[in-house]
A and B are shown apart, each in its own frame.
Chain A
Amino acid sequence: MPGDLTDGRIVIVGASLAGLRAAEALREKGFTGSLTVVGDEPHPPYDRPPLSKQVLLGRATADTTELPMRRDPEAEWRLGVRATGLDPLAKRVTLDDGESLPYDRLLIATGTRARPWPNPEEAALDGVFTLRTREDAAGLAERMAAGPRRVLVIGGGFTGSEIASACRELGLDVTVTERGPAPLVGALGGTLSKLAAVMQRNHGVDLRTGVTVTALRGNGSFTGAELSDGSRVDADVCVAALGAIRNVEWLADSGLAAGPRGIACDAGCRAFNMYGIVTDDIFVAGDVSRFPHPLFGYQMLSLEHWGNAVEQAEVAAHNMVSPGPLRRPHLAIPTFWSTQFGLNIKSVGVPTFSDHVVIAQGSLEARRLAMAYGYQGRVTAAVTVDMAKSLDYYRHLIETAAPFPPPPGAQDRAIAADIPIPSDVPDPKGLSHGPTVALTGYLPDRRLTVV
């Protein structure tokens, strides 16, 4: 009902972290109308980060990572049902079971899926995995527990590195291939990627950089892979950790600004249509969104971050039940973490939005440090390695656009804290894995075709 935003029909498409938190927040903020959550996976919302850590290590099983509720959102859950289309004029979402759901306001939180190995026949070999869903993790964990001769991980991004770390912790031989010069280089830039490479090799990972996998071999079951340098890796298990694909195909005919980088929305999480006109009844949150951020030149950001899913879902929910002047912008500073090879890596800001870095505290030798990233003389990001208690300080520097390099006087200050070196962030096109933070620029993802 127009006028009363706390009543009416809200549909959320996407039953993962962002969908669940948005549903809870809607009730928290007083929404009393009907709430339906649609999810294509048959499970209630579950948490994904443990799938590449605890689950592979055998400390938790894949079927126990359901997300706890903060409160019961009293929603109708349509699980195992895929949304196939959206008619924004009739205000209906069509489902693959033939039904169509009417809505007054819609939240799109369809997230991403794993980018599969590009050759479908090779991808279908037994022993070839991607890692995104609970089933993926259960299958991979089972194979790893069975003690394969070697695991091949294609892609040295965060997921690939965490899988390699779990393999080594389980005592499994593992090869990592990365087309770029080092693991994590796309996310963290040159200096820390060198630390990542050293950590992998020190822990016994067979790390191959500057190469691509040209073919997966096997007769029914995976037996090995051919590399672009002419070498061959014999292994029983292969994980393609190539990054993510945004789940936007179902919106192809919706007229929304939806493309490979996600669905463009404004700072209030309202979706744009393909003419760049903002809608007022369709909202977007989580990995599938692409939103402008004032601290990063108002470029459109797409983030595959747990924290962003939570925070953006809460802002979207708030705005769905609030009249215009009371709406809030989604301005949270991107934050990310990864645990691998015994190190805790945390990132705040956008490290790829940088031209220079300094090691502000600690040292590479100590495996304990804070690195600050600067762009045109101001601090835009920081990454800590086993120094998470410093992160709030650097977040404050980013929020206040503090001068780069950071001010003097920090304890455990590195000798070279005043000497910026190039941040050395490569073009993501040259990497095996997709970025988990992408500055997607000012341009729309797809051209408008005039018919």
Chain B
Amino acid sequence: MDSETLLARITDYANRPHPYPLYAELREAGPVVRQADGSHLVGTYHEIAALLHDPRMSADPRTRGEVTRKPPFLRLDDPEHHRLRTLAMRPFGPPHSPGRVDAMRGEIDRITKELTGPFEAGRQIDVVDDFAYPLPVTVICRLLGVPREDEPLFRAWSDALVAAADVRPEEDTTETDEAGDQARGEMGGYLVNLAEQRRGRPGDDMLSAFVNEPDPALRLTQEELAETAVLLLIAGHETTVNLITNGVLTLLRHPEHLDHLRREPGLLPRAVEELLRYEPPVHMRERIPHADIDVAGTKIPQGASVVLVLASGNRDPLRFPDPDRFDPTRPDNQHLGFGSGIHLCYGAPLARIEAQAALGALIPHLGTARLVQDPPPYRQNAMLRGPRHLPVQL
């Protein structure tokens, strides 16, 4: 059956601009669709949501028998996941630092104003390079305490790491995996070094908070600090750039909604939620069952790779009426854009504030704007899907 090749077709770069018909095919063939390589695809909303809350589903690649060093909390299971995520949360969010992200609103607004300053009517801009990439990079650098001017340095590491983390069936991944490991090591070393410079001389950044934690029980080890800092720096911008760019692309494709938002900016928070459903920045997550499990009548063996296609669940007509319609006023929008369960996106609140600020600042410049290229050129990555460039004529 063709359904055995679905994952290969989804990850095929040629299908990057239009994966949604493949997701419809997946749901039709589902809920659980076995692939030729032994992995399982799940693309229906209710099954994905249940698996994201199922404590038998592991996020840890070592559950598959893979021999690797201990991953960051994104790919750990409880109780270790809980311990590390809670420690990483202390300088970032509640209960320890509830006002931290809210307090960044002013600065985020200032950065977006600076970036949109030169956007004059008649000019052609690249939404990615001129706006959607620099904003989250500047914000996460500020938050973590990483010099903004080091961006070319960590951009290369980040590219290698993100490539290694992608879903790549039927492909020899040895080389990218090795490059990813090397980048992870170098980037970790770089960030630990930055943190060490702040030991005893703390700034108001997160690296300072991590190394200056007075309670030994609440301190990260050097390895944990490296893994956590790498994760936060990468996740802090690689996904938000897609959210903002996908947002601009979607609004330019739906001028009536662009117009609606220009007249009613109060609708922006809900529009961002709808973007997270309609064009999410993260399309897939992998899980591995700790035991044989049964999903809607299909047995998935222990240790198998289960790919949860979040972006497909977001378009499931059994959950969302008229799912292929972009509707910023959609009620009951319980999307999977940030995942769900214990691994729900750590940086979700920051991404939301950045996306709201970014779109809010850009919308006034999009009055007569048009897409220069539709579909735009996409990045290679199938899991973190978004345009590489988005040329727009203002």
Q: Are A412 and B55 in contact, CB atoms less than 8 angstroms apart?
A: yes
Could you tell me which residues of chain B, from 315 to 349, have a CB within 8 Å of some CB in chain A?
341-342
Q: Are B50 and A393 in contact, CB atoms less than 8 angstroms apart?
A: yes
Tell yes or no: A390 within 8 A of B by CB.
yes
Could you tell me which residues of chain B, from 189 to 208, have a CB within 8 Å of some CB in chain A?
none
Q: Are B54 and A361 in contact, CB atoms less than 8 angstroms apart?
A: no
Kindly provide the distance from the CB of A225 to the nearest chain B CB, expressed in whole angstroms: 36
Q: Are B53 and A411 in contact, CB atoms less than 8 angstroms apart?
A: no
Could you tell me which residues of chain B, from 275 to 316, have a CB within 8 Å of some CB in chain A?
289-291, 293, 302
Partner of A393, one of B54, B78, B290, B291: B54
Partner of B56, one of A362, A366, A409: A409
Partner of A392, one of B53, B79, B293, B302: B53
Residues of A within 8 A of B78 (CB): 361-362, 411-412
Residues of B within 8 A of A407 (CB): 56, 291, 293
Tell yes or no: B58 within 8 A of A by CB.
yes
Tell yes or no: A408 within 8 A of B by CB.
yes
Could you tell me which residues of chain B, from 49 to 102, have a CB within 8 Å of some CB in chain A?
49-50, 53-56, 58, 77-79, 81-82
Q: Are B53 and A390 in contact, CB atoms less than 8 angstroms apart?
A: yes
Partner of A411, one of B50, B55, B293, B302: B55
Q: Are B342 and A409 in contact, CB atoms less than 8 angstroms apart?
A: no
Task: Say yes or no: A361-B56 contact (C-beta < 8 A), given A409-B302, A411-B77, A411-B290.
Answer: no
Residue of B with least CB distance to A412: B78
Residue of B with least CB distance to A395: B53
Residues of B within 8 A of A410 (CB): 55-56, 290
Residue of A with least CB distance to B341: A389
Residues of A within 8 A of B53 (CB): 389-390, 392-393
Number of A-B contacts (CB under 8 A): 51
Report the Cα distance A362→B293, complex, angstroms.
Answer: 21
Q: Are B289 and A409 in contact, CB atoms less than 8 angstroms apart?
A: yes
Kindly provide the distance from the CB of A341 to the nearest chain B CB, expressed in whole angstroms: 14
Q: Mark A153-196, 1 if CB is under 8 A from B, else 0.
A: 00000000000000000000000000000000000000000000
Report the Cα distance A222→B53, complex, angstroms.
Answer: 50
Tell yes or no: A446 within 8 A of B by CB.
no
Task: Say yes or no: A396-B50 contact (C-beta < 8 A), given A361-B55, A409-B56, A412-B79.
Answer: yes
Q: Mark A41-65, 1 if CB is under 8 A from B, else 0.
A: 0000000000000000000000000
Report the Cα distance A255→B79, complex, angstroms.
Answer: 56
Kindly provide the distance from the CB of B119 to the nearest chain A CB, expressed in whole angstroms: 40
Residues of A within 8 A of B341 (CB): 389
Report the Cα distance A370→B290, complex, angstroms.
Answer: 18
Could you tell me which residues of chain A, from 391 to 442, have a CB within 8 Å of some CB in chain B?
392-393, 396, 407-413
Residues of A within 8 A of B293 (CB): 407, 409
Partner of B82, one of A408, A412, A413: A412
Residues of B within 8 A of A390 (CB): 53, 55
Residues of A within 8 A of B290 (CB): 408-411
Q: Are B291 and A411 in contact, CB atoms less than 8 angstroms apart?
A: no
Residue of B with least CB distance to A386: B82
Residue of A with least CB distance to B294: A407
Report the Cα distance A413→B54, complex, angstroms.
Answer: 12
Residue of A with least CB distance to B78: A412
Residues of B within 8 A of A413 (CB): 55
Q: Which of A361, A393, A408, A413 has the most CB of B within 10 A?
A: A393
Residues of B within 8 A of A392 (CB): 49-50, 53
Report the Cα distance A408→B56, complex, angstroms.
Answer: 8
Residues of B within 8 A of A370 (CB): 55
Kindly provide the distance from the CB of A333 to the nearest chain B CB, expressed in whole angstroms: 15
Q: Mark B146-164, 1 if CB is under 8 A from A, else 0.
A: 0000000000000000000
Residues of A within 8 A of B289 (CB): 409
Residues of A within 8 A of B82 (CB): 368, 412
Residues of A within 8 A of B79 (CB): 362, 366, 368, 411-412
Kindly provide the distance from the CB of A372 to the nearest chain B CB, expressed in whole angstroms: 11
Residue of A with least CB distance to B290: A409
Kindly provide the distance from the CB of A266 to the nearest chain B CB, expressed in whole angstroms: 29
Report the Cα distance A410→B50, complex, angstroms.
Answer: 14
Kindly provide the distance from the CB of A43 to the nearest chain B CB, expressed in whole angstroms: 29
Residue of B with least CB distance to A407: B291
Residue of B with least CB distance to A408: B291
Report the Cα distance A409→B78, complex, angstroms.
Answer: 12
Residues of A within 8 A of B54 (CB): 393
Report the Cα distance A168→B289, complex, angstroms.
Answer: 43
Kindly provide the distance from the CB of B304 to the nearest chain A CB, expressed in whole angstroms: 13
Kindly provide the distance from the CB of A393 to the nearest chain B CB, expressed in whole angstroms: 5
Kindly provide the distance from the CB of B31 to the nearest chain A CB, expressed in whole angstroms: 14
Kindly provide the distance from the CB of A91 to the nearest chain B CB, expressed in whole angstroms: 36
Kindly provide the distance from the CB of B17 to the nearest chain A CB, expressed in whole angstroms: 35
Kindly provide the distance from the CB of A278 to the nearest chain B CB, expressed in whole angstroms: 33
Kindly provide the distance from the CB of B295 to the nearest chain A CB, expressed in whole angstroms: 11
Q: Which of B54, B78, B81, B291 has the most CB of A within 10 A?
A: B78
Report the Cα distance A412→B54, complex, angstroms.
Answer: 12
Kindly provide the distance from the CB of B281 to the nearest chain A CB, expressed in whole angstroms: 22
Residues of A within 8 A of B56 (CB): 407-411
Kindly provide the distance from the CB of A428 to the nearest chain B CB, expressed in whole angstroms: 32
Report the Cα distance A384→B109, complex, angstroms.
Answer: 40
Q: Which 8 A-B pairs have the closest CB atoms?
A: A409-B291, A409-B290, A410-B55, A409-B56, A412-B78, A411-B77, A392-B53, A412-B79
Interface residues of B (CB under 8 A from A): 49-50, 53-56, 58, 77-79, 81-82, 289-291, 293, 302, 341-342
Supplied contacts A407-B56, A409-B55, 19 more A-B pairs, CB within 8 Å: A361-B55, A361-B78, A389-B341, A390-B55, A392-B49, A392-B50, A393-B50, A407-B291, A407-B293, A409-B56, A409-B291, A409-B293, A409-B302, A411-B56, A411-B79, A411-B290, A412-B55, A412-B77, A412-B79
16 A-B contact pairs sorted by A residue (CB < 8 Å): A361-B78, A366-B79, A389-B342, A392-B53, A393-B55, A408-B291, A409-B289, A409-B293, A411-B55, A411-B58, A411-B78, A412-B55, A412-B78, A412-B79, A412-B82, A413-B55
Interface residues of A (CB under 8 A from B): 361-362, 366, 368, 370, 389-390, 392-393, 396, 407-413
